């Protein structure tokens, strides 16, 4: 699908306040802090689920409006539970979707799945983000007696069918042609029940998806603290307006550590200590000897002398509970993008052999090998076509560097549909662990048997090397189904690109019930001791083995 600049409408729902006043007073109390409101709005506007940027409008209840609510962003205010249509009509353009986002949540999702969903025939698409479906999760399966039956390691964000609840989803995609039909008395209903009833009367079809990703709930103290921790860089950019603010009265012996934002008319008493990340709203009064650490204090609050405020979001309603309520545990740094954070991967400096020199060698040698074997490719291709019907090449999905999927190319050595036959032959599997291998495999063709014995079937993998998906030397390239059944510490194997050859290929003993252990042992050992000397030694051993096997065929 071609990426279009879809329109996004972010709605701060006033209806939630009436159902849960204790929680939803939080966001309304925080928005008057102009710098923090800017951070929230910018994060919501940047939280674009379709992977495309377009016009963004934020709808806020009229009673939430304050003087500090004037922002550069396109903001409209609504009364009751309906948004007047004029702002929506401005957003409507041909061949674009309107994305209605729930302003309570900041989400981070992989947008690859959204374009596929937009190609369907449904009128509306509801998307909820579920952290449990994020990549790098391990799922354990239990037997009926409670024993562990197995586990699955997930390397990419998952997508599952969802269902409509009684609250607004995180995002709703609306086809532009339907926008006028969704209006009730010229306004868009913001109560979800009324919205659903309107869709039902118009016989609109829904598609509901749950997609793996991170979620920050701005109506919870933990969620707001996560946002504070994740926005420390933004606080560094705007804190020049804080300590030197002429409208503030700050004692000379008050101490500041880290990123602390002080807004207008703030008073800070003697010997107070403010440890960032922290934000103090307008007209906040901090008593003498107060310690504030990693907290947000809403405007117009007074903190008594000697108080300790740690990991809190203080509003008028929560200030009275400060002495009686134990502060929540520090939420720590927010992990909003799970794809980029896996501590099991090893890393190397940019100019090291593992990251730079190894790649240069791969480009050089793969280019030479492909040029040398270029005359042989047509001969092998013709032999495969004459021996059995089907394509010349076979691309098997494997996982490479950091678990990224790619198609590992080989000359086809089996009959078409061989993969689908594997479960029928599982009883004959003679290797342990998640691997599959049988002797005298009936799926292998005559020419395929020759190509396998001489390893000529793996020559196309030099194309994978040239594309940066594989390396000449490295761990065994394994499919996702096998990796998901490995313990999380086995992910160290995925710290480097998989190789055409490696320690396991050269040193495996093929002893019963040892192959899987040897595979993991040698692959992780290679990553620990990666070096040019080791790669050259493995290349020499592989060359000798290939030549000897080729001669044995004759």
Cα 393 from Cα 381, distance rounded (Å): 8
Cα→Cα distances 319→28, 229, 281, 308, Å = 15, 21, 14, 12
Q: Which helix (H) or strand (E) holds 541?
A: helix 532-552
pLDDT of residue 326: 42
Cα 503 from Cα 493, distance rounded (Å): 12
pLDDT of residue 273: 93
pLDDT of residue 43: 83
CATH class of 7-219: alpha beta
pLDDT of residue 259: 85
Residue 384, burial from CB neighbour count under 10 angstroms (0-12, 13-18, 19+): buried
**Residues comprising the chain, all counted:** 554
Cα 39 from Cα 45, distance rounded (Å): 10
Q: Of 47, 67, 66, 45, whose CA–CA distance to 56 is shortest?
A: 45
Residue 276 near residue 295 (C-beta atoms within 8 A): no
Provide the phi-psi class of 69: left if phi over 0, else alpha when psi is between -120 and 50, else beta. alpha
What is the full per-residue pLDDT of the chain (554 aa) written as tens digits?
Answer: 334 567 788 998 875 444 444 445 788 888 888 788 888 888 887 755 554 556 788 888 988 877 655 556 688 888 888 888 665 665 555 556 788 999 999 988 766 667 666 666 778 889 999 888 887 766 777 777 767 677 676 777 888 888 888 889 999 988 877 878 888 888 889 889 899 998 888 888 888 888 888 899 998 889 999 888 887 766 665 554 455 555 788 888 999 888 888 888 899 999 999 998 899 988 899 999 999 999 999 888 999 999 999 999 988 877 765 544 344 444 443 333 333 344 567 788 888 998 899 999 999 999 999 999 999 999 999 999 998 888 999 888 888 888 888 999 999 988 887 777 776 776 666 665 556 667 777 888 889 888 888 888 899 999 999 999 999 999 988 887 777 666 555 667 888 899 999 988 888 877 766 677 788 788 888 988 899 999 999 999 998 888 887 787 76
DSSP 270-297: TT-EEESSEEE-TT-EE-TT-EEES-EE
Domain ranges, ordered by start, for the chain: 7-219, 225-319, 345-552
pLDDT of residue 531: 92
The residues near 427 (Cβ < 8 Å, ≥ 6 apart) are none
Residue 126 near residue 204 (C-beta atoms within 8 A): no
Cis peptide preceding 115, ω within 30 of 0 = no
Q: Of 295, 480, 306, 520, whose CA–CA distance to 396 is shortest?
A: 480
Residue 45 near residue 59 (C-beta atoms within 8 A): no
User: What per-residue string of b and e applies to 417-435 under the rule 16 or more CB within 10 Å gives b?
Assistant: ebeeeeeeeeeeeebebbb
**CATH tag for 225-319 (out of 3.40.50.2300, 2.160.10.10, 3.40.190.10, 3.30.300.30):** 2.160.10.10
pLDDT of residue 327: 42
User: What per-residue string of b and e applies to 284-307 under the rule 16 or more CB within 10 Å gives b?
Assistant: bbbbeebbbbbbbbbbebebeeeb
Residue 281 near residue 32 (C-beta atoms within 8 A): yes
The residues near 215 (Cβ < 8 Å, ≥ 6 apart) are 105, 106, 107, 108, 129, 130, 131, 170
Q: At what angle do helices 446-454 and 376-387 cross, to 10 degrees?
A: 140
Residue whose entry in the numeric block shows the structure tokens 């761990």: 475
DSSP 458-489: GTTHHHHHHTTS-EEE-SPPB-HHHHTTS-GG
Cα 414 from Cα 451, distance rounded (Å): 11
Quick one: tokens of 475?
């761990």
Residue 364, burial from CB neighbour count under 10 angstroms (0-12, 13-18, 19+): exposed
Residue whose entry in the numeric block shows the structure tokens 């040029």: 371
DSSP 95-122: T--EEEEETTEEEEE-TTHHHHHHTSS-
């Amino acid at each position: 699908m071609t990426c279009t600049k879809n329109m996004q409408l972010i709605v701060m729902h006033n209806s939630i306040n009436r159902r849960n006043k204790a929680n939803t007073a939080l966001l309304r109390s925080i928005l008057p802090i102009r710098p923090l409101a800017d951070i929230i709005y910018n994060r919501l506007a940047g939280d674009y689920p379709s992977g495309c940027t377009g016009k963004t409008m934020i709808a806020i209840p009229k009673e939430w409006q304050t003087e500090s609510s004037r922002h550069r962003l396109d903001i409209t205010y609504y009364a009751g539970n309906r948004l007047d249509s004029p702002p929506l009509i401005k957003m409507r353009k041909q061949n674009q979707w309107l994305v209605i986002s729930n302003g309570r949540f900041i989400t981070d999702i992989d947008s690859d799945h959204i374009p596929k969903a937009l190609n369907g025939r449904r009128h509306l698409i509801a998307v909820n983000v579920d952290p449990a479906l994020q990549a790098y999760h391990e799922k354990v399966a239990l037997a009926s007696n409670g024993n562990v039956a197995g586990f699955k390691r997930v390397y990419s964000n998952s997508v599952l069918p969802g269902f409509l609840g009684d609250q607004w989803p995180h995002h709703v995609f609306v086809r532009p042609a339907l926008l006028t039909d969704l209006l009730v008395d010229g306004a868009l209903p913001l109560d979800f029940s009324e919205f659903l009833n309107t869709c039902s009367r118009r016989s609109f079809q829904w598609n509901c998806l749950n997609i793996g990703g991170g979620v920050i709930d701005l109506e919870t103290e933990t969620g707001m603290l996560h946002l504070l921790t994740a926005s420390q860089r933004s606080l560094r950019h705007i804190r020049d307006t804080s300590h030197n603010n002429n409208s503030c009265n700050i004692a000379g012996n008050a101490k500041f550590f880290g990123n602390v934002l002080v807004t207008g008319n703030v008073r800070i008493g003697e010997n107070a200590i403010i440890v960032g990340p922290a934000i103090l709203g307008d007209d906040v009064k901090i008593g003498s000897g107060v310690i504030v650490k990693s907290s947000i204090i809403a405007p117009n609050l007074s903190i008594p002398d000697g108080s300790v405020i740690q990991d809190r979001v203080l509003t008028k309603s929560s200030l009275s509970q400060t002495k009686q309520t134990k502060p929540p545990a520090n939420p720590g740094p927010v992990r909003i993008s799970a794809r980029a954070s896996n501590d099991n991967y090893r890393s190397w400096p940019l100019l090291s052999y593992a990251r730079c020199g190894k790649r240069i060698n791969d480009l050089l040698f793969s280019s030479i090998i492909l040029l040398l074997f270029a005359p042989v490719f047509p001969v092998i291709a013709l032999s495969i076509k004459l021996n059995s019907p089907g394509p010349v090449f076979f691309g098997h999905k494997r996982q490479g560097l950091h678990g990224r999927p790619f198609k590992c190319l080989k000359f086809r050595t089996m009959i078409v549909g061989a993969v689908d036959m594997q479960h029928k032959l599982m009883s004959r599997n003679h290797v342990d662990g998640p691997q599959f291998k049988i002797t005298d495999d009936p799926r292998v063709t005559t020419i395929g048997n020759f190509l396998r014995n001489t390893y000529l079937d793996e020559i196309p993998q030099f194309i994978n090397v040239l594309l940066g998906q594989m390396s000449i030397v490295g761990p065994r390239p394994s499919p996702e189904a096998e990796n998901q059944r490995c313990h999380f510490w086995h992910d160290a194997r995925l710290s480097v690109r998989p190789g055409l050859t490696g320690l396991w290929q050269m040193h495996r003993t093929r002893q019963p019930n040892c192959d899987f252990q040897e595979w993991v042992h040698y692959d992780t050992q290679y990553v620990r001791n990666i070096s040019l000397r080791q790669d050259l030694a493995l290349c020499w051993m592989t060359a000798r083995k290939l030549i000897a096997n080729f001669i044995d065929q004759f």
